[in-house]
Amino acid sequence: MQSFRTEFENKIVAQDIIDLNKKIRLFKEGKIADEKFRSLRLARGVYGQRQEGVQMIRIKLPFGKVTSEQLNRIAKVSDEYSNGHLHITTRQDIQIHFVSLDRTPELWAELEKDEVTLREACGNTVRNITASDTAGIDPDELFDVTPYANAMFRYLLRNPVCQEMGRKFKIAFSSSDKDTALTYLHDLGFIPRIKLINGKEVRGFKVLLGGGLGSQPKHADLVYEFLETDQIIPFAEAVLRIFDRQGERTRRMKARMKFLIKDIGLDTFLQSVEVEKTALPFRSFPIEINEDSAKFEIKSKAPQIQLEDIKSFEAWKKTNILPQKQAGLVAIGVRVILGNLDTNQAHALAELIKNYAENELRFTLRQNFLIRHVHEDDVPFFYLELKKIGLALSGYESTLDITACPGTDTCNLGIASSTGVAKELGKLLTEEYPQYLNNKNLLIKISGCMNACGQHNMAHIGFQGMSIRQGGQVAPALQILLGGGTLGNGEGRFSDKVIKVPSKRGPQALRLLLDDYESAANKGENYLDYYDRQGKNYFYELLKSLADTTLMTPEEFIDWGHDEAYVQAIGVGECAGVVIDLISTLLLESEEKIDLAKSAFDARHFSDSIYHSYNASINTAKALLLSENVETNSQANIISLFDEHFIKTGKIQLSGSFADTIYQINKNEPSESFAQQYLAKAVSLLKTVQLYREKTQAHETAS
């Protein structure tokens, strides 16, 4: 049986870091095209910044969990290789900015000393697997989803099925029907279920498929009301195989799985998934659960202290303390403004959770973190310790706790400043609307562009960075979106685009919206019900005066946080953009994948070997099509076009069609004999194509 992949097999990790160092050198020597190098480094968490010559490093922390040792290691790396700052993302990752490309292999090696990885944190891969930060402590949960999220992460890490897909792929696990992990907007979402089968309680998941945000948000489809836990990994792998093979690879904006499902239909997609199960290494993948993990023994009790400012403590306690299902313990929510954390704060936190909690915290989807397993009696001590490092802010995950992506601060795709306007809106709320400190039912989210890293289009009130023209000048603007939100049990709603206003009018827009809600909503009426009752046009009329650009002031042509006139400068996006491959690079990659197939075969990882052979054959076929200027847009398209242009014309001789050969991958079980045969055919195809290329080039030279 194929072994269970793990990130922490030292030999594999070390080779990965060596390979990155080698590729950086080849890139600087001009031996690897920029487009191809971008794909390679993104899959290793190295992302180009808006600022030339430096990189953003994204650290992959499955379900947001970090120990004190890991947090200290991450902070130490930021101190050594960057500027002493950390950024918490809306996918429970940590980002470090302004890192030299040359030092990224060394940085990665340092992180791995405490089992922290960069692998597949960016690029066309399975991104960080997220989960409810309360998983394992949630009083409403049927069972802890953490082990299942962890098993999925470990199984898919470095899995050849999901290394170079057409686009990124996102997976989430919610702890309960509250759906705090937002499963409905993910490619794959899981919500726990228990079913009585033959008188026995059996664990499983409600499964949602094909959701996403971006410029065209789509609600995920329900595919299972109950799927037993041993089936979630086989199902996910089959889904990824179909997405990899049939997904769009040329038109970046149409390359997410939601578009593939729309194009071929959900039923057809699921039929393909069923067919693919023949090729899977596991028909069932039981996930081991340590039931003792729910038992906590705090190693030491915090010192007893006397509070001087009881009023401030009680206000903080009201908004920042969460009950746990474990008696006598609570979780402390820590609000981090815009997810920005200094390393001195991180080091102090690491010591705090090591000495007085259960040595872990979890980052949240709202760019905050949760300290878990704290004795109720120790809460005053934690409050004072957090206050010392500037992290005792009230209003954890309330209306005042605005979510925003980095926007134009560092991102190539940023159109207008999201962090700048977020700070202004936060200031407005604090000074004029303090009553929203306790409101957790009206959320504000901001993104610097349409890609929705700040999740603006599922917020009650959302803002999207844009630009606007007036009198020959360009000014920063905000698209205002209203009426989105999470409804629970895998259901959600996306907000409506209401109106676009100059960015400097964002605070006034929020003031109008809140004043209107305060004065016109019925008693106890939540914001979504109020929005539905009034209707989109009502809010358009409410805000219409702010959209008038005929009398814009000079200040409105300057973005938040800047001193000079706004210039719209959008770089090359690296959020998993399509890679433009060169012929020689593709053939070189085919050779590398054949080597990987051979190594996997020798290790008796037959399924991995087969998939590496498949990728080698696809790359080989694509290279030859590219050499004759034949455009392709998916792997399935490559297969059919190769037959049309080279097999049917007799230019390339195979024993049968290319489709018959390549599609053996989903008609055979991953046995030793099939893996050996499939590898041999990949080797033969590469040799045949290389020989054809040599003859063609020789003929062209002679002519």
3-state secondary structure 550-587: CCCCHHHHCCCCCCCCCCCCCCCCCCCCCCCCCHHHHH
Whether residues 506 and 470 share a domain: the answer is yes
Q: What is the per-residue pLDDT for 570?
A: 52
Whether residues 549 and 431 share a domain: the answer is yes
Whether residues 383 and 451 share a domain: the answer is no
pLDDT above 80: residue 78? yes
Q: What is the per-residue pLDDT for 588?
A: 82
pLDDT above 70: residue 666? yes
CA–CA separation, 574 vs 174, rounded Å?
28
In a domain, 573, yes or no: no
pTM score, whole prediction: 0.91
Residue from 233, 177, 229 nearest 202 by CA: 229
Handedness of CA 141, 147, 148, 152 (dihedral sign): positive
174-218 confidence digits (pLDDT tens): 999 999 999 999 999 999 999 999 999 999 999 999 999 988 999
Whether residues 421 and 546 share a domain: the answer is yes
Query: Domain holding 342: CATH number?
Result: 3.30.70.3340
| Domain end marker among 100, 116, 132 | 116
The parent domain of residue 430 ranges over 403-557
Backbone angles phi, psi at 57, to 5 degrees: -105, 125
By the 8 A CB rule, do 368 and 340 touch? no
> Between the CA of residue 94 and those of 20, 91, 106, 115, 479, what are the distances in Å?
20, 9, 18, 14, 28
Residue from 314, 400, 304, 386 nearest 345 by CA: 386
Whether residues 110 and 23 share a domain: the answer is yes
539-590 confidence digits (pLDDT tens): 999 999 999 998 899 999 988 888 888 776 554 444 433 333 468 778 888 9
Whether residues 111 and 128 share a domain: the answer is no
Whether residues 149 and 215 share a domain: the answer is yes
Q: With 0-12 CB in 10 A as exposed, 13-18 as middle and 19+ as buried, what is 382?
A: buried
Q: What is the dihedral of CA 226, 229, 235, 237, to 10 degrees?
A: 160
Total count of domains within the chain: 5
Whether residues 433 and 552 share a domain: the answer is yes
Query: Domain holding 487: CATH number?
Result: 3.30.413.10
In a domain, 356, yes or no: yes
- DSSP lists the bridge partners of residue 190 as 173, 207
In a domain, 397, yes or no: no
Q: What is the per-residue pLDDT for 569?
A: 59
By the 8 A CB rule, do 522 and 534 touch? no
CA–CA separation, 331 vs 322, rounded Å?
5
- The more confidently predicted of residues 311 and 574 is 311
DSSP-assigned states of every residue in 119-141: TTSSSSSB-PPEE-TTTTT-TT-
DSSP-assigned states of every residue in 214-251: TTS-BPPEEEEEEEEGGGHHHHHHHHHHHHHHHS-SS-
Average pLDDT value for residue range 78-88: 96
Strand order in the sheet with 340-342: 46-48, 55-59, 94-99, 85-88, 340-342
317-372 confidence digits (pLDDT tens): 999 999 999 999 999 999 999 999 999 999 999 999 999 999 999 999 999 999 99
Residue from 570, 368, 600 nearest 449 by CA: 570
Torsion region of 665: left, alpha or beta (phi above 0 gives left; psi -120 to 50 gives alpha):
alpha
**pLDDT band for position 20 (cuts 50, 70, 90):** confident
Whether residues 538 and 413 share a domain: the answer is yes
Residue from 632, 431, 443 nearest 527 by CA: 443
By the 8 A CB rule, do 68 and 358 touch? no
> Between the CA of residue 574 and those of 222, 452, 464, 571, 578, what are the distances in Å?
30, 14, 19, 9, 9
Q: What is the per-residue pLDDT for 299?
A: 55
Percent of the residues in the chain that have a pLDDT greater than 90, as a whole number = 75
CA–CA separation, 192 vs 225, rounded Å?
10
By the 8 A CB rule, do 191 and 206 touch? yes
In a domain, 562, yes or no: no
Residue 193: its H or E element = strand 188-197
CA–CA separation, 476 vs 370, rounded Å?
35
Residue 109: its H or E element = helix 104-112
Whether residues 162 and 282 share a domain: the answer is yes
Question: Angle of helix 379-388 relative to helix 310-320, nearest 10 degrees?
Answer: 100
In a domain, 298, yes or no: no
CA–CA separation, 446 vs 145, rounded Å?
29
Per-residue tokens: 251: 């038109």
CA–CA separation, 210 vs 164, rounded Å?
19
420-464 confidence digits (pLDDT tens): 999 999 999 999 999 999 999 999 999 988 888 889 999 999 999
In a domain, 396, yes or no: no
In a domain, 417, yes or no: yes
| Domain end marker among 361, 388, 415 | 388
Per-residue tokens: 551: 């009398």
CA–CA separation, 431 vs 433, rounded Å?
6
Range with lowest mean pLDDT among 17-21, 114-118, 609-613: 17-21
Which pairs with CB-CB distance under 8 Å and at least 24 residues apart come from 316-319?
A: 316/383, 316/392, 316/393, 316/394, 317/379, 317/383, 318/394, 318/438, 319/394, 319/395, 319/396, 319/398, 319/437, 319/438
Whether residues 58 and 83 share a domain: the answer is yes
| Domain end marker among 96, 116, 136 | 116
In a domain, 597, yes or no: yes
By the 8 A CB rule, do 454 and 90 touch? yes
Average pLDDT value for residue range 136-160: 96
| Mean pLDDT for the chain overall | 91
Q: What is the per-residue pLDDT for 585?
A: 75
Whether residues 342 and 423 share a domain: the answer is no
